[in-house]
Structure 1
Amino acid sequence: MDNPLRLEVIVASVRPERFAPVVADWFLRTVRTSPEFDTGVIDLSETPLPVDLTDNPAVEAYRARLAAADAFVAITSEYNHGYPASLKTAFDTAKREWRAKPIGFVSYGGLSGGLRAVEQLRQVVAEIHMVSIRETVSFHQAKKRFDSAGDTQDGAAIDAADRLISQLAWWARTLRTARAVDPYPG
């Protein structure tokens, strides 16, 4: 593709013993087979965003990266029926950089597979003028869904990932064109 869509995959969990890298690596291997995307990773455990939302050079670099993106996917766990605080800080640290851009979710957790966190996140991203992709990839009892090589045989998740990637590409292309022709008024 001559002008690939810039996708930033945000890894939300910052816990020392987190399972996030397994899920994120699987998704990255999957999405990187799509020629429509040029894909980067924003790992919040390696992105120093101050919880008091003050500015510093790292925050400015983070915002510039968001501004250059056409689409996002958040890889999120579920903690106590909600999403990680690090992800809320990541959303609140920027403002206009998120607007009129699509976001998809890949969640994981216990019995709910992180879906309660995703439902809460849909409210947050609507408030910051993002388009939430309907299709969600969810891993219930996630540690049982991956083998030692980080691969999964979870057919529902594999199918959902394919649909999410297709829908994300459509929205990203459409919204990139719309922003260029008629800047978002938000």
Structure 2
Amino acid sequence: MANNLRLALVIGSTREGRFGPTVANWFAPIARLHADFDLDVIDVATLELPDVHPGWGTEPTPGLATLRARVEAADAYVVLTPEYNHSYPAHLKHFIDLHHSEWRAKPVGFVSYGGQAGGLRAVEHLRQIFAELHCVTVRDVVSFHSAWDHFGEGGRADDPAGAAGAAKVLLDQLAWWGRTLHEGRAARPYGN
């Protein structure tokens, strides 16, 4: 559809043996079927990120310039994060920090997973980060508590209707905010 919003799904886990791809492989088809979105999957584990921020006023590497263009092109984001030691992964924070104005005046939603807390403590920390970047975070989150117990063979969710229902709520909220903020940025550039 010509008027679709661009949704970037950011997979934030990078550890060997990570569970993130299982959750992403469940979520991505649901997002692709949503009438409002065209999906771009950005897997932090597959990126060659610079060790340090290139600094304001210096040119990024060609790879980082391409990545920044993808982040800039998105109208909305879903950050898929595990919870490590009551917070988010360091590589995800590094990825976020390599971008600045690309995030501004856009909505962010979360899909989280982990042990008893289901990644929700990581999400609460990320909300603070994205507020500083002038993003709107949507209220509803898709969260998998003891995630490895909720996915069967082939990465199928054990409660497909409930999980898909939560994903639809998240995507509907992102679509509303994404369209509203897209139109707002087109009518009047977002200030500093």
TM-score by length of 1: 0.97
Q: CA offset at residue 35 of structure 1?
A: 2.0
* Secondary structure class of the residue paired with 2:67: helix
- Percent identical residues: 51
Q: What CA deviation, in whole Å up to 9, does each residue of 1:106-163 have, x standing for no partner? A: 0000111000000000000000001101110000000000111211133543322110
| RMSD of aligned Cα (Å) | 1.1
Tell me whether 117-126 or 52-61 shows the greater mean CA deviation: 52-61
Match of 1:71 among 62, 73, 76: 76
Which residue is equivalent to 2:12? 12
Which residue is equivalent to 2:93? 88
Match of 1:59 among 64, 71, 86: 64
The count of corresponding residues between Structure 1 and Structure 2 is: 186
Which residue is equivalent to 1:167? 173
User: Is 1:176–2:147 an aligned residue pair?
Assistant: no
State the AA in 2 paired with 1:9: L
* Deviating 4+ runs (over 2 angstroms): 153-159
- Give me the whole-angstrom Cα distance separating, in 2, the residues matched to 1:133 and 1:50: 30
Which residue is equivalent to 1:119? 124
Match of 1:148 among 141, 146, 153: 153
State the AA in 2 paired with 1:112: A
- Give me the whole-angstrom Cα distance separating, in 1, the residues matched to 2:3 and 2:48: 30
- Give me the whole-angstrom Cα distance separating, in 1, the residues matched to 2:148 and 2:13: 15
- Give me the whole-angstrom Cα distance separating, in 1, the residues matched to 2:94 and 2:162: 31
- Give me the whole-angstrom Cα distance separating, in 1, the residues matched to 2:158 and 2:17: 23
Unaligned runs of 5+ in 2: 55-59
* Secondary structure class of the residue paired with 2:13: coil
* Secondary structure class of the residue paired with 1:52: coil
Q: What CA deviation, in whole Å up to 9, does each residue of 1:56-91 have, x standing for no partner? A: 111111111111110100110000111001111111
- Give me the whole-angstrom Cα distance separating, in 2, the residues matched to 1:24 and 1:49: 21
Unaligned runs of 5+ in 1: none
TM-score by length of 2: 0.94
Q: CA offset at residue 50 of structure 1?
A: 1.7
